[in-house]
Structure 1
């Protein structure tokens, strides 16, 4: 909506916008002359591709929540189409920001909000803000839930189960554990409620840690924070893609590779 307003409301289409941007004094545009080098561009593209599959929220929605193979076939063309559509107006918005708000004193992460506000389009700015808030909230919710599941399944529950095993039978007898679970439900019925509590606490801790990092990092650009998370997530890529083609790989080998 904002892209259509900028391109066709403030300018006479993409041609007019590109022409005015090309004539901007100072050589600030065309934008592509100010972008990173090709090696940097390809590296960022590779990191983004890895993040699209391996970020906690992406992996959770793509792998964990996948219940039907047909969803994978649809996602194979819908997801790339979605990426193209959401980036369709990125370059026009960047050019409009340079034309209407020149100078280095502008936070370019806020361009999509500043452009409608500058044109006295309060309702459009509100819609853009609500859309951004909705997208950010969805990412926080999915990422928090995904990380909470990982924390409970791979960190807390193994320790909890080993502790119960040691208390129920010092010898570690599985039969004794089964008898105790059948007798008083400590290994069965109560476990589900404990998992829920653990995951809720983990969600709260993840959100608080994220806020603490935001406060500690200061006014860093959103792109810089995202790039840092992309680079960290890309460390998992060799083990992930290697496991798809080499079935003899083990968790120990993947951990050693990290």
Structure 2
């Protein structure tokens, strides 16, 4: 069975879009296609009206595992993407220091990943993703391995950073509340083969705090999304 069905998705400049759906619906596959890690059997991906193929300079990916290199300092980890592109050392370290400041880790530049908490390592991963000034950040369950308190702190940190830098985000998550809390829009996918069931605007002002989840807009969105996902999960398990 195909991982994905026909999908059409537009992400506007500076927009934060979350993707939710039942397990195995193809969320990560969609992200990998957009990021150039997989080739679609049909269709295309375009950024700024230009069709793309292969790995994208216009996108950066943050995975659930921070994927830091334990033998490199935090500063050198953040500079790694620029090093791979051949940027001279002095220039890449200057950019890396700027991005570390953006995520509040300036004082930890000389530390190694093993000296950091899980949340701090994810901040390193976010800083690394920002070094190439991407048009689009692809985040695949980036905080899924963190405890609830750290996850919330990191979610707000990411929201603050992308708002400051005006980049777009496609955020994959299993948490409906997290999606509503962070997003301008929440895209709900069907069971495999994944297709878009609904595209729900979240009309809440920024900056946001946890209190927004008690507003009528948020509670209605959470209920609507949960009803769609529950139905799809039941269909996939043959319970209806």
Structure 1 and Structure 2 fold alike (TM over 0.5): no
Q: Which has more radius of gyration?
A: 1
For CA contacts below 8 A with separation 6 or more, give which structure has more relative contact order. 2
Q: Which has the higher helix share?
A: 1
Q: Which has the higher strand share?
A: 2
TM-score, normalising length: structure 2: 0.23
